[in-house]
């Protein structure tokens, strides 16, 4: 992809969805952090089903702690890896209470000190909650970065850094959501739906299939 193609690529996605948002359901920064932590190797649909029951009962760090480990697990047991996620979430809540006055920190470095929170999770929180121009490279964005020619790379970090460098600044804040949604519903892993893709004309993969 050249600069003109990248500009047209994101202008097209923006025109179709001017105000993209995460499909995870939340009403506070803390709820977003919990939802993202629970979403590793799980679907947003599955996480939302669990948090719709959890958040009305426990939507602050102290309330999560008050549930106890067994109590928390009873709400999230439908989510994959729920044992380890519950343990990490309890530890995270303890740190939020003791070190951050129950507030979710606003820097990547501080977020990554929380158990179960890696670079991707921190980037989602920074982007969705605080409007930072970060790029959380999940499986969809990693695939699209390589498949489309937008940001080829062998590791998520390599793709992330290239995306941040190549995406025009006006699109950076929302680019994370556009790419995830496009990868989830159109540029799918097994069979990309190029015949309905609005940005196919800018995509290296589409060009190769027509060659």
Residues involved in catalysis:
120, 138
Contact (CB, 8 A) for 111 and 117: yes
Output helix, strand, coil percentages for the chain, rounded to the nearest 5: 65, 0, 35
User: Distance of CA 39 to CAs 22, 24, 63, 162, 170, Å?
Assistant: 12, 9, 20, 25, 28
Q: How many CB atoms lie within 10 A of CB 77?
A: 11
Q: What DSSP string describes 77-103?
A: TTSTTHHHHHHHHHHHHHHHHHHSTTP
Q: How many CB atoms lie within 10 A of CB 101?
A: 8
């Amino acid at each position: 992809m050249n600069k003109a193609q990248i500009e047209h690529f994101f202008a097209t996605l923006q025109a179709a969805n001017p105000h993209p948002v995460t499909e995870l359901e939340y009403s506070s920064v803390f709820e977003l952090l919990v939802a993202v932590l629970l979403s590793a190797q799980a679907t947003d649909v599955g996480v939302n089903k669990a948090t719709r029951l959890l958040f009305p009962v426990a939507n602050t760090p102290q309330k999560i702690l008050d549930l106890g480990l067994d109590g928390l697990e009873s709400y999230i047991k439908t989510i994959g890896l729920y044992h380890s996620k519950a343990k990490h979430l309890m530890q995270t809540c303890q740190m939020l209470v003791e070190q951050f006055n129950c507030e979710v920190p606003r820097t990547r470095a501080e977020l990554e000190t929380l158990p179960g929170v890696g670079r991707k999770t921190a980037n989602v929180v920074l982007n969705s909650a605080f409007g930072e121009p970060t790029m959380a490279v999940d499986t969809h964005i990693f695939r699209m970065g390589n498949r489309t020619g937008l940001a080829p790379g062998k590791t998520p970090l390599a793709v992330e850094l290239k995306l941040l460098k190549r995406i025009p600044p006006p699109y950076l804040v929302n680019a994370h959501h556009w790419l995830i949604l496009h990868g989830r519903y159109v540029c799918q892993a097994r069979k990309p739906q190029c015949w309905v893709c609005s940005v196919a004309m800018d995509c290296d993969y589409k060009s190769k299939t027509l060659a």
